[in-house]
């Protein structure tokens, strides 16, 4: 066999072997979270490259080498799944670098991190002032996890005392003009509904590049033809606007009428509508 | 526009709100949202009943507002 052909054969073979190895080891291998994953990742790659290009190497030796670095971490993973001690030794533990807003210099020294490197990691988490940090841990994989002080955390609905809204994940039901029935079913819809919604917006399914439906059953689409302006769903804001208009009308009627009984009826209903609006408006906005 | 017509227009809007809430209740997947929309639809329904009663009174009192 000529040399170049052998390189081709070995290349294809090892690509296949590496593919299988990572499939067996799973997603955790790709994340390189622990020492074992990091080392085996590097080594498997080097072995594959070495055997592929160095034609004097035995191909089976290469495959055995790869297998060792796949099988051993595999068993260590299983062992560490069952034992916390093994886990701590193999995968390592996080080191607290900032506690109660103060930098722990001893731990920093132990991990051999300089102040500059700490600042760099903090900047990577969008923190430019150490003062903003309450607690920070250097994780086993070298990433820094940061808990900001309460004052510096982003505002949430809870902070504003807004009623809680339970929103489910959106489903992607159309991709490249192709309908995914399975996704459609998990969104609780069917093709007839989709056709109806598309007809409402005056587009054909062939023109839809991407279609998503959110938990409240609103369909948002992106078209192949970018010149066509797709209207954003207006059902909910329109409903809210209608409620506001009606509420104002009722109040107006209450003022305009001479009959005392009618006045009371209008006022009571205006109040009812206002209460209903208050409850609904968080759900109807956006 | 006359008072009668104003009220009838308001009634029409109320009906459309009721229908809108009903369709939202059917379309949404989140159960608590479903319940909320349904409950509010009932409230709107009550308002609708009151308005219809009032329209009946207005029509009886003043003959010229009659008719839909």
DSSP string, A17-84: HHHHHHHHH-HHHHHT-SHHHHHHHHHHHHHHHHHHH-TTS-HHHHHHHHHHHHHHHHHHHHHHHH-H
Instruction: Tell me, yes or no, whether A74 and A20 share the same domain.
Output: yes
Answer whether A217 sits within 8 Å of B20, measured CB to CB.
Answer: no
**Given B26, B30, B47, which is nearest A166 (Cβ)?**
B30
Question: Does residue A162 lie in a domain region?
Answer: no
Inform me whether the C-beta atom of residue A279 falls under 8 Å from chain B C-beta atoms: yes
> What are the boundaries of each domain within chain B?
3-61
Residue A259 has pLDDT above 90, yes or no: no
> Are A273 and A236 a contacting pair, CB within 8 Å?
no
Write the DSSP string, A195-250.
Answer: HHHHHHTT--GGGEEEEEE-TT--EEEEES-TTSPPPPP-HHHHHHHHHHHHHHHH
Looking at residue A118, its pLDDT comes to 93
Looking at residue B38, its pLDDT comes to 92
Question: Does residue A272 lie in a domain region?
Answer: yes
Average of per-residue pLDDT across A160-175: 85
Question: Does residue A248 lie in a domain region?
Answer: yes
Average of per-residue pLDDT across A191-196: 91
Residue A104 has pLDDT above 90, yes or no: yes
> Are A279 and B60 a contacting pair, CB within 8 Å?
no
Average of per-residue pLDDT across A39-61: 85
Q: What range does the domain containing A19 cover?
A: 3-89
Question: Does residue A203 lie in a domain region?
Answer: yes
**Given A215, A238, A276, which is nearest B44 (Cβ)?**
A276
Among A5-14, A96-105, B46-55, B59-68, which is the least confidently predicted range?
Answer: B59-68
Residue B1 has pLDDT above 60, yes or no: no
CA distance A177 to chain B (A): 23
Q: What is the mean pLDDT of chain A?
A: 88
CA dihedral over A38, A44, A47, A49, signed as positive or negative: negative
Inform me whether the C-beta atom of residue A239 falls under 8 Å from chain B C-beta atoms: yes
Q: What is the mean pLDDT of chain B?
A: 85
Contacts of A253 in chain B (CB under 8 A): 3, 6-7, 10
**Given B27, B30, B53, which is nearest A167 (Cβ)?**
B30
Q: What percent of chain A has pLDDT over 70?
A: 99
Pairing type for strands A95-99 and A102-103 reads antiparallel
**Given B3, B13, B21, which is nearest A245 (Cβ)?**
B13
Identify the CA nearest to A210 among candidates A200, A198, A223, A192: A223
Q: What percent of chain A has pLDDT over 90?
A: 36
Domain count, chain A: 4
Instruction: Tell me, yes or no, whether A26 and A80 share the same domain.
Output: yes
The better pLDDT of the pair A83, A168 is held by A83
Question: Does residue A185 lie in a domain region?
Answer: yes
Instruction: Return the number of other C-beta atoms located less than 10 Å from residue A227's C-beta.
Output: 5
CA distance A254 to chain B (A): 11
């Amino acid at each position: 066999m000529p040399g170049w052909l052998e390189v081709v054969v070995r290349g294809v073979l090892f690509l296949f072997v590496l593919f299988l190895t990572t499939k067996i080891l799973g997603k955790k291998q790709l994340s390189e979270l622990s020492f074992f994953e990091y080392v085996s990742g590097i080594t498997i790659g080097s072995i594959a490259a070495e055997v592929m290009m160095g034609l004097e190497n035995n191909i089976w030796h290469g495959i055995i080498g790869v297998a060792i670095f796949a099988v051993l971490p595999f068993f260590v993973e299983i062992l560490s799944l069952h034992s916390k001690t093994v886990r701590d030794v193999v995968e390592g533990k996080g080191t607290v670098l900032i506690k109660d807003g103060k930098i722990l210099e001893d731990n920093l020294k132990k991990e051999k991190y300089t102040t500059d490197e700490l600042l760099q990691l903090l900047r990577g988490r969008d923190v430019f002032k150490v003062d903003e940090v309450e607690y920070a841990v250097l994780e086993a994989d070298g990433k820094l996890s940061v808990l900001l002080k309460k004052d510096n955390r982003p505002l949430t609905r809870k902070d504003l005392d807004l009623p809680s809204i339970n929103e489910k994940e959106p489903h992607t039901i159309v991709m490249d003009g192709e309908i995914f029935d399975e996704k459609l079913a998990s969104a609780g819809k069917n093709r007839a509904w989709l056709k109806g919604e598309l007809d409402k917006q005056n587009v054909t399914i062939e023109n839809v590049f991407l279609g998503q439906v959110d938990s409240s059953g609103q369909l948002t689409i992106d078209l192949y033809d970018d010149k066509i302006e797709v209207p954003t769903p207006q059902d909910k804001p329109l409903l809210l606007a209608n409620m506001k208009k009606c509420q104002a009308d009722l109040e107006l009627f209450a003022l305009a009428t001479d009959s005392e009984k009618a006045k009371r009826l209008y006022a009571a209903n205006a109040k009812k509508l206002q209460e209903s609006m208050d409850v609904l408006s968080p759900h109807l906005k956006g | 526009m006359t008072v009668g017509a104003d009220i009838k227009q308001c009634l029409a809007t109320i009906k459309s709100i009721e229908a809108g809430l009903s369709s939202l209740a059917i379309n949404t997947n989140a159960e608590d949202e479903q319940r909320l929309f349904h409950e509010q639809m009932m409230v709107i329904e009550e308002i609708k009943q009151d308005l219809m009663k009032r329209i009946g009174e207005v029509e009886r009192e003043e003959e010229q507002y009659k008719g839909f």
